[in-house]
Structure 1
Amino acid sequence: MKTIKVCLAWHNINSNNYGVSALAIAQVALLVEAAKRANVNIEIETLGTPFVNELTIKEEVEKRLSIKLTHKDFSLKNFVLSLAKFNSSVLSLFKKYDIVMDIGEGDSFTDIYGIKRFTIMVLTKYLALRTKKKIVLSPQTIGPFNNKISYLVSRYLMSKCDAVFSRDYKTTQFVRDMGIECVEVSDVAFTLPYDRLPKLENSVGINISGLLWNGGYSGNNQFGLTVDYQKFVKQAIQNFRARGKSVHLVAHVIANHIPVEDDYRVCVQIKKMFDEDEGVVLGPKFTSPIQAKSYISQLDFFAGSRMHATIASLSAGVVTIPIAYSRKFSGVFGSLEYPFTLDAYSLDTEGLLNQLFEYYDHQFQVMRSSMANARNIALQRNEKYIDYLQELLRHE
């Protein structure tokens, strides 16, 4: 049985951001399944942002999926330093792999995050292409490219890829308008493995984004929200408690060393506000996105501001309302015919609360039916992606 070496570029299993980690784990799981069907062995190395060594997610995944994984950190700074030392081996970084699959950490193949981030996304794609190995852009949000040069560079790179996959209809249309063939599937995290827990009656989960709570990295409403996010969260908790529901505070980014991003720190802070109310429950400090999804699976209802927390809940069969801060939410969920995303960047605080409880109080069964349909669509589309991976591995 032949062995195929696969590089998963811009994947990071040991990430404090469990959305990034969920993408990487799910991609590995899909590859493992495709390799079984293709009757080949695979060696997988992830590459991208630094591995958080104190996390044990990699070991959990290796045990669950019966595969050994390695990771290579990549940064623009270290790349430039290597060249300055005349170490040209970095130019052949991808030569040892048979296939390179780049997921751009979900939504980073764009120029909206600045020139440095865009440059490093482009650089790895270029280095992979120059080795003439197969390169696939895995399901992700692509664009926008607001600068003319970044638009042309991105179009050229995508035209040279063996396949380009999108996870939402907006990306699909955007890429096709660039003249590039694009296959639409779903976010791979819909297939993130988990352990289903017994249902908790009358339970509600709320995922609070530490980044939104703190006003973004700038601390000054960086994402242009039209709601008072802190007021919205506190009022939502009070309204659910008034309806006799237990409210579980759920973190999906646990970043001890980056306070502005840390959901769990904010959950602790909120629990202190409701210290005497046993019906407001501080969720665990999860050690992996698998554990987080498993915990979420026991809830009756879930609302969240981290997109992959809401993907976890919907794919675990929980009625879900995503609270969006960017277009990627409506793209991903709209592609699944799930119309219950609420925008925190267009509604005001009162409007957002009113719409949340209009859905919860009066359209719960409609949402439940829509959730089941969306879940089935996502899994069917990702089955199509597995079929592609199977053929890719079989013909390597």
Structure 2
Amino acid sequence: MTGAGEEQAAAVALANYGARLAEQGDPAEAETALRRAGRLLPGHPLIAYNLGRALARQDRVEEAAECFRSAVILAPDLAPAWNNLGNCCKELMRLDESLVCHGRALALAPDDAPVRFNRALTLLLAGRAAEGWSEYEWRHPALGQAPAPEPVWDGTPGPLLVEAEGGLGDAIHFLRYASEAARRGAKVILLVPPALMRLAAVLPGVTVADRSGPRPAAARHAWLMSLPRLLGLGLEPPGGGAPYLVPPADAVEQWRRRLGEGRKVALCWAGNPRFDNDARRSLPFALLAPLLELDGMSFHSVQVGPRAGDGAGCPGLNDLSPHLTDLAETAAALAAMDLVISVDTAVAHLAGAIGVPCWLLLPFSPDWRWGAAGERTPLYDSLLLFRQDRRGDWAGVMDRVKAALETGP
């Protein structure tokens, strides 16, 4: 083998090794291998593409975008590179460019479910509901979800099994659509996670069942997050942003007695770590700590899950997590607060659903439902949105939150 041939073989081996490292969850080592491969074999589209993936997994989105851009210049028919470039553009809030990129990917691979799903997320974030809801149906094949055994609901009256999906925040957001389906004549049986059973039981026109139990019989089926499309609705929910859930009155009264008088603020700083975008939506507890120094108010942690202990032993923080046994109990605790400050997780949806004032802390590229701009949302009248001005800039968000708290919620 000639020297040039040996270099090419070494480059290919390094490129393959780097791609495997990226898949195995070691993006930093993958980057090292792929950069060496790129020096040995410059101008290779797959090396540029895989380097972009390694950089994206380190949240170096602008650098990743440049790699994907190089890849599509070198190989315009490389659909995965167009898809990943579209994803990077969405993270950078270049939504029009993101849609162009996903459009190029779809022209090359029209039945690629992840591309269609990614495009849906950008369409919905951009406020393009009709197109977005249609493309959003690709989430199930994109996420490897099997179809339901029952036929899809066609809008006719009769027994309808509506099945919650996604996280608890998704379920809370979309519950009101089940009531709208009932209002239009469906006899709705709503499958929800056990943690939501007690709270969802107050929904009008809906029979609630445990998703983890035996599957009820029904003539038709609808995924909960497909109801806006099936009902022909836009992004604004039925009933607008008014409250639609009611916590147990006796539990609310107990919480009010337990927490006492004065201005009470609930804090939640992290979501479910299994969620793909959790690292961007959650924030370090240390950034919340300066709030605890403010006078004239008490602070209460409603953080549950693996990060509930982040504030353990912190003076001025009352940990309520041991008492939050389900979402009805959490809703009752929130109803006893004057204000909730939360990242994008179920707590914020719960506060909005029961009408408690909530300041929602959002990353630069938020989840589609919060829209691309603005301090208010049509989803919940009681929410005020605090958005990052730059990617990763939680410190700036918390400076604004602290200043707002000092002048009163």
Q: Normalising by the residue count of structure 1, what TM-score does the alignment of the two structures yield?
A: 0.47
Query: Rg: which structure is higher?
Result: 2
Q: Normalising by the residue count of structure 2, what TM-score does the alignment of the two structures yield?
A: 0.46
Q: Structure with the greater relative contact order (CA < 8 A, sep ≥ 6): 1 or 2?
A: 1
